[in-house]
């Protein structure tokens, strides 16, 4: 029963270990405050849920979904319309838009669509794990680019060795960035597009957090850069923008040839999305958007409350411009611990669950990520408990 080499190569899934630690803590009667996974805690807006219920009652919507079906055509149009309104980017719905069963699925499959076993994919590290795990599952060669606080967590394209570049087929970028919360400027995206064009590399941009942005910051689409569509595709998700994480719906947009290979790959593996979810997604994208602004205001308040509370106990965590995470260097007095050991200590002693930096790649060592997916009272309670162990361990 030996797993394939490509599955054996996958890094240990730290979140399974965290689940075990959570279970042990619960068994001991510890109250868990779970700031581990980026799983939105607020409900999907009522008008979206209503549309799901309405369309689920129609038996015509119970079969397989095909790309020529009316609902898929309408969904691709709704996505193109949303992109145009939000980013001013024109997309041809029939060839430049692909609905996905969550963007994670598409990001994994794009590696499978393009990577042979001697093709290199460049992946900044730390990052959202499917960016590199998709490469390993596809059997490609992973080249990690360390990204660091002092560089704003942006990769240095000039530092990539020429012999690696010769074998490189794809690069994965994602700003606003999970887990570091970094954002990128238009100038950076211009550089990234130039770099991909010069080296004939497919540029994959993951824009899952475009709408979760604060303080007048507005995230941009890589497709806003002139000529980007010649080499780039962008992945997007309804999970965070509309609190639809469990529904499994996202999409890819951009270069039609790249997307055609993705569609071909998926065609052998899945059967599209449940039609009522597509109808609900159309409602989300074309309906009132005040649910999004309310959600962003809620995350902004949580961010302010949490950063202030952490500063008060001496943990100087940067205030992010986007995403609903905080990316925090492990306090000096715990610098002898790995991020996993520090997270384990916090779970055992306080019931507060964070994500270890190494869950996002080896260059995440020395950091932990807070997901602001509990309400303000619970966030303050979490900091109170952390303060106590800081005091007892001091
Ligand atoms: C950067 C990033 N991309 C993609 C995803 C996955 O989104 P989806 O639910 O659409 O698969 C996540 C989820 O946390 C994410 O953080």
- The minimum-distance atom of ligand 1 relative to the CA of 237 is 10
**pLDDT at residue 242, as a whole number:** 98
How far is the centre of ligand 1, averaged over its atoms, from the C-alpha of 41 (Å)?
15
Q: How many domains does the chain have?
A: 2
* 168 — pLDDT class (breaks 50, 70, 90): very high
Atom 6 of ligand 1, nearest CA residue: 104
Cβ-in-10-Å burial (0-12, 13-18, 19+) of 151 comes to exposed
Question: What is the three-class DSSP state of 67?
Answer: coil
**pLDDT at residue 13, as a whole number:** 78
* 1 — pLDDT class (breaks 50, 70, 90): confident
**pLDDT at residue 116, as a whole number:** 97
Do 184 and 298 reside in the same domain of the chain? Answer: no
CA 75, 65, 92: angle at the middle one, nearest 5?
35
Do 279 and 304 reside in the same domain of the chain? Answer: no
Task: Find the mean pLDDT for residues 27-51.
Answer: 96
**pLDDT at residue 394, as a whole number:** 58
- The minimum-distance atom of ligand 1 relative to the CA of 248 is 9
**pLDDT at residue 9, as a whole number:** 87
Do 83 and 229 reside in the same domain of the chain? Answer: yes
How far is the centre of ligand 1, averaged over its atoms, from the C-alpha of 312 (Å)?
32
The span from the CA of 101 to the CA of 79, in Å, is 14
Do 34 and 154 reside in the same domain of the chain? Answer: no
Provide the domain limits for residue 307. 5-43+290-393
The span from the CA of 118 to the CA of 141, in Å, is 6
Do 51 and 38 reside in the same domain of the chain? Answer: no
**pLDDT at residue 192, as a whole number:** 98
pLDDT digit string, tens, across residues 133-158:
999 999 999 999 999 999 999 999 99
**pLDDT at residue 14, as a whole number:** 79
Q: What is the sign, positive or negative, of the torsion defined by CA atoms of 231, 225, 256, 234?
A: positive
Q: What is the mean pLDDT of the chain?
A: 96
Residue 74, pLDDT > 80, answer yes
The residues lining ligand 1, judged by C-beta closer than 6 Å to any ligand atom, are: 38, 102-104, 128, 174, 178, 206, 208, 237, 239, 245, 250
Atom 5 of ligand 1, nearest CA residue: 104
Do 296 and 365 reside in the same domain of the chain? Answer: yes
- The minimum-distance atom of ligand 1 relative to the CA of 127 is 1
Do 39 and 51 reside in the same domain of the chain? Answer: no
> 44, 103, 212, 222: which to mutate for ligand 1, most atoms within 8 A of CB?
103
Do 125 and 220 reside in the same domain of the chain? Answer: yes
From 252, 286, 320, the end of a domain falls on 286
> How, if at all, do strands 120-125 and 33-34 pair?
unpaired
Q: How far is CA 190 from the centre of its chain?
A: 22
**pLDDT at residue 329, as a whole number:** 97
Task: Find the mean pLDDT for residues 284-304.
Answer: 98
Do 205 and 272 reside in the same domain of the chain? Answer: yes
**pLDDT at residue 238, as a whole number:** 98
From 286, 315, 337, the end of a domain falls on 286
* 352 — pLDDT class (breaks 50, 70, 90): very high
Nearest Cα to Cα of residue 145 among 135, 134, 154, 133: 154
* 393 — pLDDT class (breaks 50, 70, 90): low
Atom 12 of ligand 1, nearest CA residue: 208
Q: Name the more confident of 6 and 45.
A: 45
Q: Which residues of 335-366 are buried (b: 16+ CB within 10 A; e: fewer)?
A: eeeebbebbbebbebbbbbbbbbbbbbebbeb
Atom 13 of ligand 1, nearest CA residue: 38
**pLDDT at residue 345, as a whole number:** 95
Token pair for residue 89? 């980017």
From 286, 308, 325, the end of a domain falls on 286
How far is the centre of ligand 1, averaged over its atoms, from the C-alpha of 27 (Å)?
31
Task: Find the mean pLDDT for residues 158-164.
Answer: 96
How far is the centre of ligand 1, averaged over its atoms, from the C-alpha of 172 (Å)?
14
Do 233 and 89 reside in the same domain of the chain? Answer: yes
How far is the centre of ligand 1, averaged over its atoms, from the C-alpha of 207 (Å)?
9
**Sequence-separated (6 or more) residues with CB below 8 Å from residue 66:** 72, 272
Domain CATH number, residue 339: 3.90.1150.10
- The minimum-distance atom of ligand 1 relative to the CA of 177 is 1
How far is the centre of ligand 1, averaged over its atoms, from the C-alpha of 126 (Å)?
15
The span from the CA of 279 to the CA of 388, in Å, is 49
- The minimum-distance atom of ligand 1 relative to the CA of 106 is 11
The span from the CA of 368 to the CA of 356, in Å, is 5
Nearest Cα to Cα of residue 259 among 63, 79, 127: 79
Do 71 and 155 reside in the same domain of the chain? Answer: yes
How far is the centre of ligand 1, averaged over its atoms, from the C-alpha of 177 (Å)?
11
Do 60 and 141 reside in the same domain of the chain? Answer: yes
């Amino acid at each position: 029963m030996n797993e394939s080499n490509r599955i054996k190569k996958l890094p240990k899934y730290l979140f399974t270990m965290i689940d075990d630690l959570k279970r042990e803590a619960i068994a001991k009667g510890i109250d868990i405050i779970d700031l581990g996974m980026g799983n939105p805690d607020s409900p999907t807006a009522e008008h979206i849920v209503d549309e799901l219920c309405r369309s689920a009652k129609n038996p015509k919507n119970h079969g397989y979904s095909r790309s020529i079906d009316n609902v898929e055509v309408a969904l691709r149009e709704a996505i193109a319309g949303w992109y145009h309104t939000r980013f001013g980017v024109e997309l041809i719905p029939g060839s430049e838009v692909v609905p996905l069963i969550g963007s994670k699925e598409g990001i994994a499959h794009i590696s499978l669509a393009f990577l042979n076993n001697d093709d290199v994919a460049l992946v900044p590290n730390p990052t959202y794990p499917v960016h590199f795990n998709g490469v390993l599952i596809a059997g490609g060669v992973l080249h990690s680019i360390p990204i660091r606080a002092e560089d704003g967590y942006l990769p240095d394209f000039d530092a990539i060795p020429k012999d690696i570049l010769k074998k490189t087929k794809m690069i994965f970028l994602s700003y606003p960035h999970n887990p570091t919360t970094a954002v990128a400027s238009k100038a950076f995206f211009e550089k990234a597009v130039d770099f991909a064009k010069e080296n004939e590399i497919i540029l994959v941009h993951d824009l899952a957090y475009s709408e979760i942005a604060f303080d007048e910051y507005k995230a941009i689409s890589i497709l806003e850069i002139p000529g980007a569509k010649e080499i780039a595709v962008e992945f997007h998700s309804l999970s965070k923008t509309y609190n639809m994480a469990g529904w499994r719906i996202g999409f890819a947009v951009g270069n039609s040839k790249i997307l055609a290979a993705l569609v071909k790959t998926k065609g052998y593996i899945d059967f599209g999305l449940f039609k009522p979810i597509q109808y609900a997604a159309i409602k989300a994208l074309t309906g009132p958007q005040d649910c999004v602004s309310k959600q962003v205001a809620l995350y902004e308040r949580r961010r302010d409350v949490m950063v202030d509370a952490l500063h008060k106990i001496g943990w100087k965590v940067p205030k992010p411009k986007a995403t609903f995470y905080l990316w925090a260097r492990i306090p000096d007095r715990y610098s002898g611990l790995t991020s996993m050991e520090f997270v384990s200590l916090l779970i055992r002693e306080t019931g507060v669950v964070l994500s270890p930096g190494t869950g996002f790649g080896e260059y995440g060592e020395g950091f932990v990520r807070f997901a602001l997916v509990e309400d303000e009272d619970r966030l303050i309670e979490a900091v109170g408990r952390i303060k106590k162990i800081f005091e007892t361990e001091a």
